[in-house]
Amino acid sequence: MSEAYKTRDPDAIYLLTFQVVFWLDVFTRKTYRDIFIESLTFCRQHKVRAGIVEKEEDYLYSSARNYCEGMHALMEIDLLI
């Protein structure tokens, strides 16, 4: 990623992008909207601080390692419930 697009200030405004693979009307169905908003809120409250790991694929809860290893698919997860 270009240095022009990196932020060093954890409190700075930044852009979040994502890709839609299968359309799901998350903003019109209350159940999905609530899950989506709860997930975003969690991400905002539990920021990953710079310097914890050197590479994106080393983050424990990141799917970046799948892309680095050539597995361009969703990450498998174990449900805790």
pLDDT at 58: 75
User: 67 lies in which domain range?
Assistant: 24-72
Separation between Cα atoms, residue 45 and residue 43, nearest integer Å: 6
Residue type, 1: M
Please check whether residue 47 lies inside any domain of the structure.
yes
Please check whether residue 3 lies inside any domain of the structure.
no
Whether the predicted pLDDT of 68 surpasses 60 = yes
Please check whether residue 67 lies inside any domain of the structure.
yes
Q: Is 42 helix (H, G, I), strand (E, B) or coil?
A: helix
Residue type, 47: K
Please check whether residue 42 lies inside any domain of the structure.
yes
Whether the predicted pLDDT of 81 surpasses 60 = no
Please check whether residue 80 lies inside any domain of the structure.
no
Nearest to 49 by CA among 3, 5, 9: 9
Number of domains into which the chain is organized: 1
Please check whether residue 8 lies inside any domain of the structure.
no
Please check whether residue 46 lies inside any domain of the structure.
yes
Residues in Cβ contact with 49 at an 8 Å cutoff, skipping those fewer than 6 apart? 10
